[in-house]
Amino acid sequence: MFEISPAVEIEAPPDVVWEFLTEIEEWWVPSNPEHESLEILSEHETLREGTRIRVKERIAGLPGVAEGEVTELLPRERITWEAPDTRYRYYGLTIRVHEGVSWMLEPTDRGTNLTARVWATFPNTLLGTLVEWSFKHLLGGVEKDHEHAMKELEYIKAEIESSGTNRRDSRR
């Protein structure tokens, strides 16, 4: 298993950051060149607990497909998405991992601290142990996943701060 928690401070109130985050179809793909696609699989129009999402992306150069759901949604505080059966391709093998992310918002004097807590658990098998070791030590996967998450966070920060919405008084 590994876990990382990169963060940025955004000069905007939590309401504005929350509104941006919940429009995931708008920002997720363009936030990182490793993102290929995002598809909302649920029929409801707003992000909520139980919303099913499928993403295609690369982490540390490994192509993957993750299908999961929003498992926790606390307005203006935290959104958690988990994909218990994510599939990555590694030297012709399909590796399944349980992964997830929690985007956490914390008000600050200057705006909002946004943290992306990202984790992955590898299968408890000999192959899973070998893949985890390779991911961490040969591919530098933990560091690359940290860079990956930081690209997303920096994109969110730049989009919100450059849009002028950080000065908007959002009272939702």
Report the range of poorest mean pLDDT among 27-31, 51-55, 92-96, 119-123: 92-96
> Per-residue pLDDT tens for 36-95?
999 999 998 889 999 999 999 999 889 999 999 999 999 999 999 999 999 999 888 898
> What CATH code is carried by the domain that includes residue 51?
3.30.530.20
Q: Looking at the domain assignment, is residue 172 inside a domain?
A: no
> pTM of the full predicted structure?
0.91
In the chain, the number of structural domains is 1
Helices (H), 81-164: 126-133, 141-163
Domain of 158, in residue numbers = 2-165
Q: How does the average pLDDT of the chain come out, rounded?
A: 93
Residue 164: the pLDDT is 67
Q: Looking at the domain assignment, is residue 170 inside a domain?
A: no
Exposed (0-12), middle (13-18) or buried (19+): which is 36, by Cβ within 10 Å?
middle
Structural Rg of the chain based on CA atoms: 16
Q: Looking at the domain assignment, is residue 68 inside a domain?
A: yes
First to last CA, the chain: 37
The pLDDT of residue 5 is above 80? yes
> Per-residue pLDDT tens for 157-169?
999 999 865 444 4
Q: Looking at the domain assignment, is residue 54 inside a domain?
A: yes
